[in-house]
Structure 1
Amino acid sequence: MNTTIMLFLLQDGITNGAIYALLGLALVLVFAVTRVILIPQGEFVTYGALTYASLSSGQMPGTARLAFAMGIVAFALDLFAARASLHPRLVSRAFAIDIGLPSIILALTFWFAGHHPPIAVSITLSLLIVASIGLFLYRIAFQPIAHTSVLVLLIASVGCHLALQGFGLVFFGAEGQRGPTLADAAFTAGPLRFTGQSIAVYAITVAFIIGLWLFFGFTLYGKALRATAVNRLGARLSGIRTTLSGQIAFGLASVIGAFSGILIVPITTLYYDTGFLIGLKGFIAAIIGGLVSYPLTAVAALVVGTVEAFSSFYASNFKEVIVFTLILPVLLLRSLAAPAVEEEKD
């Protein structure tokens, strides 16, 4: 290997690592607030990417209809939960959020899908659709069991992943899709060539890392959101709206996942199930970061991307094996460092 090849591999690894960093940040965000290990994060990537590609090609994405259907279910759950005190103000608010918002998004999507919308419109609609799915997913699947253990939440997360992946196959089919690039600008630095797409990946990743780190580390509301994961009852007694906290976390995670997919789909062909593998690599970065540290998660994601790039050059057949092996020494070290816990006796 010469220096030029090494630089190309580093560039490729940093670009992939930036995407994994975004997904790792979303996983840390959701777990820090709701204690949910968000397995469907990969589906947010797929939905964002393929919705954007479908809109750009003038097709109507099925995800808009899914968001509307989930809104109807969420509205029914809200009415059932508030059946003892159905005030008109409460009903109208639930109707506006659960029915009105997805109806407007569905109508806009139907209108623009037949007119080949500009890139900015396709991106905006894709983010709105996936954000709605993320919000309603929390309301339907996780809010009713928010007080349960992490294991129960994990089982629910796996079930949501399987359901969303099946819907992805129905909506987009088994064929892959690619979307238009966000920017055609490019410049060279020595032997390396940086495209507008790769620059967008770097800029958006850095912005999210800094923003989330500052928000959760230095703002009162960010710390209040983190408090919901430590003690939901104590957070409620302190005046923190834990339901709103979960909705914000899932909304941000779905937007981050959709952004990641939109950044990836012009670079490579994505299929309905591609997001799961990409999400797993973001999960590795989140685990290395302990599911709490945003900067450490970002650094770990860059390491994962770099290892993947060099593995594809030296041993492409074992690339995925090498990448997923990175999690083993981390889990071993954490298990050795964890304090011993006595098992309860009957």
Structure 2
Amino acid sequence: MPPAPEGADSTARARRIAATLALAVLAALGAQAVGLPLPWMLGPLLATAAFGVAGRPVAASQRLRNLGLALLGVALGLYFTPPVVALIGRLAPAIAAGVVWALALGYVFYRVLLARHGGERATCFYAAAIGGASEMALLAERAGGRVDQVAAAHSLRVLLVVTIVPVALKLLGVHGLDAASTASATVRPLGLLMLAAGAAVAVWILCRLKAPNPWVLGPLLATALPTALGAELSALPPGTSGFAQLVIGVALGIRFTPEFAHAAPRWLASVAAGTLAMLVVSAGFAALLARATGLHPATALLATTPGGIAEMAITAKVLQLGVPVVTAFQVVRYVAVLTLMPVLYRAECRRVGLRP
């Protein structure tokens, strides 16, 4: 049988990506029609995950995902006006408490996983951490853990959090409580060009430095800095938020494959049960934090819930629930967890008399 033409694989992949995007748009419209919260993320996420688990050939474009993350970073950065920055400064002790809470929650979850599954200490430790999937999987691999189980645990955790939390908030009628607004409500071509240039330079610098999550953090920092100094460059054009949600939802959904569904069901069941338990106790912690700081409980919940930066920030933005506060909590926690987990893992190994 003659070999396939050189461009056949790339053409087939492009067709799969296009078909997946078409499915995602239909799913988003369907989710919007039935009143699902975050329809442009949850619709594509759930539809892509369902097709992926069923073995259908779904695919996502890494370039579109990165563009969506960059747009999200810019959108979040526009909220960091001088009054908001002053508010976040006053919330510094609460943000630190959120970091401590995330580390403690992850450690308790690790001990539960270890008790139920045993043996794979590095796998349980990094699977339980409240951090990014790819970053925790890489750290687990360096420590001799199972990358597949760590990645599966984080994918399932994010899926559950990003589905349950927005639906619960919508059922409770919690939305539109955010008094904060972006620096500018007007689209200005020159300002938009400056935002794009700043975001591109920031992404390039962070990529060169091999910093984690450069496609969100770079544009976020590049936009937040001039905004915090009082500059009102431009709003983003209409539709960018929906586009960002759609491509991020698809990128999350394609993680769910037939292999994911059939691999280590007992492990996934433990992760699911642990995630639900973390959501419950995080709601209690958020209530206490809200009482101590004056934040709305829903904002405190999104700020401290065990989700990811992109997913929780999108939830806060769409439901208008303290976008900059949620973003600040999530970004600081993300950096702290990523930085501290290897140190804490070595300390845990020393505690039990093992060599890390």
Q: TM-score range by the shorter chain?
A: under 0.3
TM-score (norm 1): 0.27
TM-score (norm 2): 0.27
